[in-house]
Amino acid sequence: MRSVEDLIRAEDAGRRLKYVWFWGHEPRRDGRIGASCLSQWWPAEFTVDDLVFPTAEHYMMHRKALLFGDGETAARILRARHPNEAKNLGREVRGYEDEVWAAHRFDIVVAGNLAKFGQHALLGRYLLGTSDRVLVEASPLDPIWGIGLAAGDERTTSPRTWLGANLLGFVLMAVREQLVGESLIGGREKRDITIVEHDPTWAERFRAERSRIRKALGDNAIRIDHVGSTAVPGLAAKPVVDIQVSVADANREETYLPQLEAAGYHLRVRQPDHRMVRTEQLDVHVHICPSGGKWERDHLLFGDWLRATPADRDAYEKLKRDLATRDWFDMNQYAEAKGGLIDEILGRAREWADRTGWSVDHPR
Convert the pLDDT of each residue in 79-131 to its tens digit.
999 999 999 999 999 999 999 999 999 999 999 999 999 999 889 989 988 98
Question: In this structure, what is the dihedral angle of CA atoms 49, 52, 54, 58, given to the nearest 10 degrees?
Answer: -50
Q: Are strands 241-247 and 223-227 parallel, antiparallel or unpaired?
A: antiparallel
CB 46 within 8 A of CB 26: no
Q: Helix count (H) and strand count (E) of the chain? A: 12, 9
Q: What does the DSSP assignment read for 288-349? A: EEETTSHHHHHHHHHHHHHHH-HHHHHHHHHHHHHHHTS--SSHHHHHHHHHHHHHHHHHHH
CB 280 within 8 A of CB 196: no
Percent of the chain with pLDDT strictly greater than 90: 85
**Is 30 a residue whose pLDDT tops 80?**
no
- Predicted confidence band of residue 307 (pLDDT cuts 50, 70, 90): very high
Residue ranges of domains in the chain, CATH in brackets: 4-183 (1.10.357.40), 201-356 (3.30.460.10)
CB 23 within 8 A of CB 30: no
Question: In this structure, what is the dihedral angle of CA atoms 9, 12, 17, 21, given to the nearest 10 degrees?
Answer: 70
Q: Are strands 241-247 and 46-48 parallel, antiparallel or unpaired?
A: unpaired
Could you give the count of Cα atoms lying within 13 Å of 337 in the half-sphere of its Cβ?
17
Q: Give the orientation angle of helix 56-67 with respect to helix 98-119, to 10 degrees.
A: 140
CB 146 within 8 A of CB 139: yes
**Choice between 335 and 209, residue whose per-residue pLDDT is larger:** 209
Convert the pLDDT of each residue in 187-223 to its tens digit.
777 788 999 999 999 999 999 999 999 999 999 999 9
Convert the pLDDT of each residue in 31-66 to its tens digit.
789 999 999 999 999 999 999 999 999 999 999 999
CB 162 within 8 A of CB 140: no
Q: Computed from CA positions of residues 79, 85, 90, 91, in that sequence, does the dihedral angle turn out positive or negative?
A: negative
pLDDT at position 135 is 98
Q: CA dist 175 to 68, 76, 141, 147, 232, Å?
A: 25, 27, 24, 19, 36
Q: Helix, strand, or coil here: 250?
A: coil
- Predicted confidence band of residue 171 (pLDDT cuts 50, 70, 90): very high
Q: Computed from CA positions of residues 160, 162, 163, 169, in that sequence, does the dihedral angle turn out positive or negative?
A: negative
CB 220 within 8 A of CB 247: yes
pLDDT at position 175 is 97
Q: What angle do CA 205, 208, 212 make, to 5 degrees?
A: 135
- CA–CA distance, 190 with 144 (Å, rounded to integer): 34
pLDDT at position 31 is 75
Q: Phi, psi (5° rounding) for residue 140?
A: -75, -10
Residue type, 349: A
Could you give the count of Cα atoms lying within 13 Å of 241 in the half-sphere of its Cβ?
21
- Predicted confidence band of residue 340 (pLDDT cuts 50, 70, 90): confident
Which is nearest to 174 in space by CA: 362, 359, 1?
A: 1
List Cβ neighbours of 182 (8 Å cut-off, separation of 6 or more).
118, 270
Convert the pLDDT of each residue in 241-284 to its tens digit.
999 999 999 999 999 999 999 999 999 999 889 999 999 999 99
Residue 262 buriedness (CB in 10 A; 0-12 / 13-18 / 19+): exposed
